[in-house]
Amino acid sequence: MKKLIISVVSALVIIIVAYSAGIGYYAEKFQANTTFGSVDISNLTLPEAEEKIQEDIYSKTFQITENGQEVGSIQLGELEPELQTGEVLTETYNSQNPNEWITGYFQSENHDGGLMETMNFDEQKLNKQLANLGLSNEERTAAQDAAIEYTEAQGYYVTEAEEGNQLDIDKVKKLIMNGIQNGEESIEINSAYLEPELSSHDEKIDSIMEQIETAKNTEINLEIAGNNVTIPQETIEEWIYFDSNNEIVYDQELIYEYLGTLNDEYATYNKPRQFQSTSEGEVTVEPGTLGWSIDRESETQNILADLQAGENVSRQPNIVGTGYNTGGNDIGDSYVEVSVDHQTMWVYVDGQIVVETPIVTGQIGTDTVPGAYSIWDKEEDAELKGYNPRTERDYVQPVNYWLPFDDTGQGIHDAGWQSNFGGNTYQVSGSLGCINTPPDVMAEVFAHAYEGMPVLIH
């Protein structure tokens, strides 16, 4: 019994001594079964572990494959990786308890995340190595983002994103580091392609297409002289483009041009017109100051506001000129008519002749210019001033009544100096272009006239 006790005590002493020796040994070394990435650093001091990790990484050679085809190899040392493993290794070392060194022989401890944080490549060197293998992005197809395109046939539509085969160097780096940590000898790079930034279902694409749909579906109805004109959807689409923030803006020049087409179709300004004359049947009256058109400058801004509001609207456009009405006839039933051939003037009010009188128009050389005009002022006791090209002198002529109707000085006024009216008087003592009217009639003409009243001279 005594011998048994001595043997047990001796064994315990040996175990204690061995355990204590192990504590002393692992006080400065990593425990058994410790790996850093794929590098076994068991039983190594911190400097020895760091040196081994660096030697192992620098000696690594990887076969590079793309879509299963081998394209070459890269030796990691040629990339001159920068390793700063000291801090991570020290942290790993300090996390191990030397008093528990025995457990290291029964379980492994792998610090596989630390390598990612401590290694960095020279990107230029990696690019050069890839280029040497024929993997330069300059010779590869870039990924194409989904985009919004426009054609007259289709309007706006989305083109799908397209995959390319240019390499994302950051992804290649991660593949290499993962390969190091996992002890791989081959790296497949087809998972490191640069991806399109925008897909056809991206929120930005959806948002822009939604803006386009809202804009083109905005119903803008213009009531033009009794005609209802709804701006077509395809026309609105033509006006759309996008600023740097991908916000819809509208081409104001195209809107302005579109309004020009409406003027061509509906406006009366600067257009000849057919007129049922008193003495000659239907005649053509040349353009003058009479007439209206859409105010393209201000109406462009109105349409912009309508589109930006995105609400359906029906309204009359801004109009400039004279004679605008919903019936489309800018002459109406009240007007002044002058026949140069007949040297006669008629004043119509509500379709009825209220004044008919002989007159004297411009003498040959200072002819009265035919056209469709409108009275723009009414003045009593006026002084007409100007230059007489026949006498080559300036003149000042007082008159009792003055009704100007164009922008060159033509108008209707009394002419007490004329001894005769009508007939051929205009050929020998005609005016400088005005409508000379008998004084006893001019007061009545003046009484019926109003600003904006059409004056038709033919």
Q: How many Cβ atoms sit within 10 Å of the Cβ of residue 361? A: 26
Q: Identify whether the C-beta of residue 454 lies closer than 8 Å to the C-beta of residue 372.
A: yes
Higher pLDDT, 382 or 87: 382
Is the C-alpha dihedral spanning 35, 40, 42, 44 positive or negative?
Answer: negative
Confidence of residue 114 (pLDDT cuts 50, 70, 90): low
> How much is the pTM?
0.62
Length of the chain, in residues: 458
Q: Summarize pLDDT for 233-267 with one digit per residue, the tens.
A: 999 989 988 877 777 889 999 999 999 999 999 99
List the catalytic residue out of 111, 201, 342, 413.
413
- Residues in CB range of 376: below 8 A, 6 or more apart: 289, 404, 405, 451, 452
- Residues in CB range of 22: below 8 A, 6 or more apart: 98, 101, 102
413 is catalytic: yes
HSE of 429, CA atoms in CB hemisphere, 13 A: 12
Phi, psi of 420 (to 5 degrees): -140, 155
Q: How many Cβ atoms sit within 10 Å of the Cβ of residue 377? A: 11
- Mean pLDDT of all residues in 194-209: 85
User: Is residue 401 predicted with pLDDT exceeding 90?
Assistant: yes
Phi, psi of 418 (to 5 degrees): -80, 130
List the catalytic residue out of 111, 201, 342, 434.
434
Q: Summarize pLDDT for 298-332 with one digit per residue, the tens.
A: 999 999 999 988 889 999 999 999 888 867 788 99
- Mean pLDDT of all residues in 410-414: 97
Q: Summarize pLDDT for 118-141 with one digit per residue, the tens.
A: 667 777 887 888 888 877 888 889
111 is catalytic: no
Query: Which domains can be identified in the chain, with CATH numbers?
Result: 17-139 (no CATH), 203-322 (3.10.20.800), 335-457 (2.40.440.10)
Higher pLDDT, 157 or 5: 157
Q: Using alpha carbons, select from 356, 409, 421 the residue that is nearest to residue 382.
A: 409
23: three-class secondary structure by DSSP: helix
